[in-house]
Amino acid sequence: MPADLIDGVSIAREIRREVAEEAARLIERGTRPGLAVVLVGEDPASAVYVRSKGKACEEAGMHSVTIKLPAATSQAELLLYVERLNSDPLIHGILVQMPLPAPLEADSVIRAIDPRKDVDGFHPINVGKLLVGERDGFVPCTPAGIQQLLVRSGVEIAGAECVIVGRSNIVGKPMAALLIQDAVGANGTVTVCHRHTRDLGLHTRRADILIVAAGRAGLVTAEMIRPGAAVIDVGMNRIDDPTSPRGYRLVGDVDFETVQQVASKITPVPGGVGPMTIAMLMSNTVRAAAAFARAAE
Protein backbone atom coordinates (compact mmCIF):
# COMPACT_ATOMS: atom_id res chain seq x y z
CA MET A 1 0.00 0.00 0.00
CA PRO A 2 1.50 3.37 -1.02
CA ALA A 3 2.66 5.74 1.70
CA ASP A 4 0.41 8.54 2.88
CA LEU A 5 1.45 11.94 1.59
CA ILE A 6 2.54 14.51 4.15
CA ASP A 7 0.89 17.59 2.68
CA GLY A 8 3.18 20.51 3.33
CA VAL A 9 0.85 22.93 1.55
CA SER A 10 -2.08 22.32 3.88
CA ILE A 11 0.06 22.19 7.04
CA ALA A 12 1.82 25.42 6.07
CA ARG A 13 -1.57 27.02 5.46
CA GLU A 14 -2.66 25.96 8.95
CA ILE A 15 0.47 27.47 10.54
CA ARG A 16 0.12 30.71 8.57
CA ARG A 17 -3.47 30.99 9.77
CA GLU A 18 -2.25 30.61 13.36
CA VAL A 19 0.45 33.24 12.70
CA ALA A 20 -2.13 35.68 11.31
CA GLU A 21 -4.26 35.23 14.43
CA GLU A 22 -1.29 35.92 16.71
CA ALA A 23 -0.25 38.91 14.57
CA ALA A 24 -3.78 40.31 14.93
CA ARG A 25 -3.56 40.01 18.71
CA LEU A 26 -0.23 41.85 18.72
CA ILE A 27 -1.62 44.58 16.47
CA GLU A 28 -4.52 45.07 18.87
CA ARG A 29 -1.96 45.70 21.62
CA GLY A 30 -0.05 48.19 19.48
CA THR A 31 2.69 46.08 17.84
CA ARG A 32 2.52 45.19 14.16
CA PRO A 33 5.07 42.46 13.40
CA GLY A 34 7.56 43.66 10.78
CA LEU A 35 9.89 41.66 8.53
CA ALA A 36 12.66 43.14 6.38
CA VAL A 37 14.18 41.10 3.57
CA VAL A 38 17.40 42.23 1.90
CA LEU A 39 18.03 40.99 -1.64
CA VAL A 40 21.43 41.62 -3.22
CA GLY A 41 21.74 41.04 -6.96
CA GLU A 42 19.37 39.61 -9.55
CA ASP A 43 19.28 35.87 -8.84
CA PRO A 44 15.90 34.79 -10.32
CA ALA A 45 15.19 32.05 -7.75
CA SER A 46 15.98 34.39 -4.87
CA ALA A 47 13.74 37.09 -6.34
CA VAL A 48 10.80 34.66 -6.55
CA TYR A 49 11.38 33.54 -2.97
CA VAL A 50 11.55 37.12 -1.71
CA ARG A 51 8.26 37.98 -3.43
CA SER A 52 6.66 34.95 -1.77
CA LYS A 53 7.81 36.18 1.63
CA GLY A 54 6.37 39.62 1.00
CA LYS A 55 3.04 38.15 -0.05
CA ALA A 56 2.96 35.92 3.04
CA CYS A 57 3.52 38.94 5.28
CA GLU A 58 0.68 40.85 3.63
CA GLU A 59 -1.68 37.90 4.02
CA ALA A 60 -0.84 37.72 7.73
CA GLY A 61 -1.41 41.45 8.22
CA MET A 62 2.27 42.03 8.94
CA HIS A 63 4.53 44.93 7.97
CA SER A 64 6.87 43.96 5.14
CA VAL A 65 9.92 45.73 3.72
CA THR A 66 12.03 44.51 0.81
CA ILE A 67 15.39 46.17 0.22
CA LYS A 68 16.82 45.43 -3.23
CA LEU A 69 20.51 46.18 -3.70
CA PRO A 70 22.70 45.85 -6.80
CA ALA A 71 25.14 42.96 -7.10
CA ALA A 72 27.99 45.48 -6.89
CA THR A 73 27.02 46.43 -3.32
CA SER A 74 30.09 46.39 -1.07
CA GLN A 75 30.40 44.50 2.19
CA ALA A 76 30.47 47.79 4.12
CA GLU A 77 27.32 49.06 2.39
CA LEU A 78 25.44 45.84 3.11
CA LEU A 79 26.48 45.89 6.76
CA LEU A 80 25.27 49.48 7.00
CA TYR A 81 21.80 48.44 5.81
CA VAL A 82 21.77 45.66 8.40
CA GLU A 83 22.77 48.13 11.12
CA ARG A 84 19.91 50.44 10.15
CA LEU A 85 17.41 47.57 10.30
CA ASN A 86 18.78 46.51 13.69
CA SER A 87 17.86 49.98 14.95
CA ASP A 88 14.46 50.22 13.24
CA PRO A 89 11.69 49.78 15.85
CA LEU A 90 9.17 48.81 13.16
CA ILE A 91 11.29 45.83 12.09
CA HIS A 92 11.28 42.74 14.30
CA GLY A 93 12.78 40.24 11.86
CA ILE A 94 15.68 40.61 9.41
CA LEU A 95 16.52 38.18 6.63
CA VAL A 96 19.37 38.66 4.18
CA GLN A 97 18.59 36.42 1.22
CA MET A 98 21.29 33.86 0.43
CA PRO A 99 23.36 33.18 -1.57
CA LEU A 100 25.10 36.52 -1.72
CA PRO A 101 27.02 37.52 -4.86
CA ALA A 102 30.79 37.17 -4.66
CA PRO A 103 32.85 38.56 -3.03
CA LEU A 104 30.37 39.32 -0.23
CA GLU A 105 30.92 37.26 2.93
CA ALA A 106 27.75 35.70 4.31
CA ASP A 107 29.17 34.86 7.75
CA SER A 108 29.99 38.44 8.70
CA VAL A 109 26.56 39.60 7.50
CA ILE A 110 24.79 36.94 9.57
CA ARG A 111 26.84 37.86 12.66
CA ALA A 112 25.94 41.54 12.17
CA ILE A 113 22.19 40.88 12.51
CA ASP A 114 20.75 41.50 15.98
CA PRO A 115 20.15 37.94 17.31
CA ARG A 116 16.73 39.09 18.57
CA LYS A 117 15.83 39.86 14.93
CA ASP A 118 17.59 36.85 13.37
CA VAL A 119 14.41 35.08 12.27
CA ASP A 120 16.44 32.84 9.94
CA GLY A 121 18.09 31.32 13.03
CA PHE A 122 21.64 31.40 11.67
CA HIS A 123 23.35 33.80 14.10
CA PRO A 124 25.86 31.94 16.31
CA ILE A 125 23.92 32.97 19.42
CA ASN A 126 20.74 31.35 18.11
CA VAL A 127 22.68 28.30 16.92
CA GLY A 128 24.12 27.97 20.43
CA LYS A 129 20.72 28.36 22.08
CA LEU A 130 19.33 25.59 19.91
CA LEU A 131 22.23 23.29 20.77
CA VAL A 132 21.90 23.74 24.55
CA GLY A 133 18.11 23.63 24.49
CA GLU A 134 17.22 27.22 25.32
CA ARG A 135 13.75 28.03 23.99
CA ASP A 136 14.00 31.80 23.51
CA GLY A 137 16.16 31.68 20.36
CA PHE A 138 15.16 31.06 16.75
CA VAL A 139 15.40 27.70 15.00
CA PRO A 140 16.27 27.78 11.26
CA CYS A 141 13.04 27.72 9.30
CA THR A 142 13.45 24.52 7.28
CA PRO A 143 14.30 22.24 10.25
CA ALA A 144 11.55 23.89 12.31
CA GLY A 145 9.14 23.25 9.45
CA ILE A 146 10.19 19.60 9.17
CA GLN A 147 9.55 19.11 12.88
CA GLN A 148 6.06 20.55 12.44
CA LEU A 149 5.41 18.28 9.45
CA LEU A 150 6.25 15.26 11.59
CA VAL A 151 4.32 16.38 14.67
CA ARG A 152 1.21 17.47 12.79
CA SER A 153 1.21 14.29 10.71
CA GLY A 154 1.15 12.14 13.84
CA VAL A 155 4.69 10.76 13.50
CA GLU A 156 6.07 9.73 16.91
CA ILE A 157 9.55 11.17 17.31
CA ALA A 158 10.32 10.23 20.92
CA GLY A 159 12.49 7.12 20.92
CA ALA A 160 12.53 6.90 17.12
CA GLU A 161 15.64 6.16 15.08
CA CYS A 162 16.08 9.42 13.16
CA VAL A 163 18.58 9.40 10.30
CA ILE A 164 19.53 12.65 8.57
CA VAL A 165 21.35 12.59 5.24
CA GLY A 166 23.25 15.85 4.87
CA ARG A 167 25.10 17.99 7.43
CA SER A 168 24.62 21.56 6.18
CA ASN A 169 24.32 24.47 8.58
CA ILE A 170 20.93 25.23 7.03
CA VAL A 171 19.25 21.83 7.45
CA GLY A 172 21.29 18.84 8.61
CA LYS A 173 23.08 20.14 11.70
CA PRO A 174 20.20 22.18 13.16
CA MET A 175 17.79 19.33 12.35
CA ALA A 176 19.91 16.94 14.42
CA ALA A 177 20.13 19.43 17.29
CA LEU A 178 16.37 19.94 17.21
CA LEU A 179 15.37 16.27 17.20
CA ILE A 180 17.77 15.27 19.96
CA GLN A 181 16.42 17.81 22.48
CA ASP A 182 14.57 16.70 25.61
CA ALA A 183 11.38 18.40 24.47
CA VAL A 184 7.97 17.84 22.94
CA GLY A 185 8.36 16.89 19.29
CA ALA A 186 11.89 15.62 19.87
CA ASN A 187 13.73 12.98 21.96
CA GLY A 188 14.80 11.08 18.88
CA THR A 189 17.94 8.95 18.56
CA VAL A 190 19.79 10.80 15.82
CA THR A 191 22.34 9.70 13.22
CA VAL A 192 23.80 12.20 10.71
CA CYS A 193 25.19 10.87 7.43
CA HIS A 194 27.30 12.74 4.89
CA ARG A 195 29.46 12.19 1.83
CA HIS A 196 32.09 10.29 3.83
CA THR A 197 29.59 7.84 5.33
CA ARG A 198 30.86 4.42 4.24
CA ASP A 199 27.57 2.56 3.80
CA LEU A 200 24.68 4.99 3.53
CA GLY A 201 22.06 2.27 3.10
CA LEU A 202 23.17 0.56 6.30
CA HIS A 203 22.11 3.66 8.21
CA THR A 204 19.01 4.65 6.25
CA ARG A 205 17.53 1.14 6.62
CA ARG A 206 17.56 1.62 10.42
CA ALA A 207 15.52 4.81 10.24
CA ASP A 208 12.03 5.13 11.61
CA ILE A 209 12.28 8.74 10.42
CA LEU A 210 14.50 9.52 7.43
CA ILE A 211 15.27 13.12 6.49
CA VAL A 212 17.19 13.57 3.25
CA ALA A 213 18.85 16.92 2.50
CA ALA A 214 21.83 16.05 0.32
CA GLY A 215 21.08 17.95 -2.89
CA ARG A 216 21.37 14.87 -5.14
CA ALA A 217 18.40 13.80 -7.21
CA GLY A 218 17.24 10.24 -6.51
CA LEU A 219 20.02 9.52 -4.01
CA VAL A 220 17.78 7.39 -1.76
CA THR A 221 16.02 4.44 -3.34
CA ALA A 222 13.45 1.91 -2.13
CA GLU A 223 15.96 -0.71 -1.01
CA MET A 224 17.46 1.87 1.35
CA ILE A 225 14.18 2.36 3.24
CA ARG A 226 12.94 0.53 6.30
CA PRO A 227 9.34 -0.62 5.66
CA GLY A 228 6.94 1.75 7.38
CA ALA A 229 9.43 4.60 7.77
CA ALA A 230 8.41 8.26 7.57
CA VAL A 231 10.44 9.95 4.83
CA ILE A 232 11.02 13.70 4.61
CA ASP A 233 12.55 14.78 1.30
CA VAL A 234 14.19 18.21 1.53
CA GLY A 235 15.80 18.05 -1.91
CA MET A 236 14.78 20.36 -4.74
CA ASN A 237 16.60 19.37 -7.93
CA ARG A 238 15.92 20.43 -11.49
CA ILE A 239 16.22 17.66 -14.08
CA ASP A 240 15.65 17.76 -17.83
CA ASP A 241 12.20 16.66 -18.97
CA PRO A 242 11.32 17.22 -22.64
CA THR A 243 7.68 16.34 -21.88
CA SER A 244 7.35 19.35 -19.57
CA PRO A 245 6.38 22.74 -21.03
CA ARG A 246 9.35 24.22 -19.16
CA GLY A 247 11.74 21.55 -20.38
CA TYR A 248 12.50 20.42 -16.84
CA ARG A 249 10.82 19.23 -13.67
CA LEU A 250 11.59 19.38 -9.98
CA VAL A 251 12.45 16.23 -8.06
CA GLY A 252 13.73 15.49 -4.58
CA ASP A 253 16.68 13.56 -3.21
CA VAL A 254 14.42 10.52 -2.83
CA ASP A 255 13.22 8.28 -5.67
CA PHE A 256 9.61 9.10 -4.87
CA GLU A 257 7.78 6.52 -6.99
CA THR A 258 9.61 3.51 -5.54
CA VAL A 259 10.10 4.77 -1.99
CA GLN A 260 6.39 5.56 -1.70
CA GLN A 261 5.72 1.83 -2.00
CA VAL A 262 7.84 1.08 1.10
CA ALA A 263 7.41 4.05 3.44
CA SER A 264 4.36 4.75 5.60
CA LYS A 265 4.48 8.53 5.12
CA ILE A 266 6.39 10.67 2.63
CA THR A 267 6.64 14.31 1.54
CA PRO A 268 6.19 15.12 -2.16
CA VAL A 269 8.48 17.43 -4.12
CA PRO A 270 7.26 20.06 -4.65
CA GLY A 271 4.53 20.57 -2.05
CA GLY A 272 6.22 19.04 0.97
CA VAL A 273 8.97 20.83 2.88
CA GLY A 274 9.11 23.96 0.70
CA PRO A 275 5.91 25.72 1.85
CA MET A 276 6.87 25.11 5.48
CA THR A 277 9.99 27.27 5.28
CA ILE A 278 8.06 30.48 4.66
CA ALA A 279 5.40 29.50 7.21
CA MET A 280 8.05 29.11 9.92
CA LEU A 281 9.70 32.38 8.88
CA MET A 282 6.37 34.10 9.53
CA SER A 283 6.09 32.26 12.85
CA ASN A 284 9.58 33.33 13.92
CA THR A 285 8.84 36.95 13.00
CA VAL A 286 5.67 37.02 15.11
CA ARG A 287 7.61 35.47 18.02
CA ALA A 288 10.26 38.17 17.64
CA ALA A 289 7.62 40.90 17.62
CA ALA A 290 5.99 39.44 20.74
CA ALA A 291 9.36 39.38 22.53
CA PHE A 292 10.03 43.04 21.67
CA ALA A 293 6.53 43.96 22.83
CA ARG A 294 7.07 42.22 26.18
CA ALA A 295 10.43 43.96 26.64
CA ALA A 296 8.78 47.33 26.07
CA GLU A 297 6.07 46.80 28.68
CA–CA–CA angle 11, 290, 23 (5° rounding) = 50
Rounded-to-integer distance, Cα 112 and Cα 102, Å: 18
Catalytic residues: 53, 97, 120
Q: Are strands 209-212 and 230-233 parallel, antiparallel or unpaired?
A: parallel
**Cβ atoms of 143 and 174 closer than 8 Å:** yes
**Cβ atoms of 64 and 57 closer than 8 Å:** yes
Looking at residue 50, what DSSP letter applies? H
Which DSSP string do the residues of 196-233 spell out, in sequence order? T-S-HHHHHTT-SEEEE-SS-TT-B-GGGS-TT-EEEE
Rounded-to-integer distance, Cα 205 and Cα 163, Å: 9
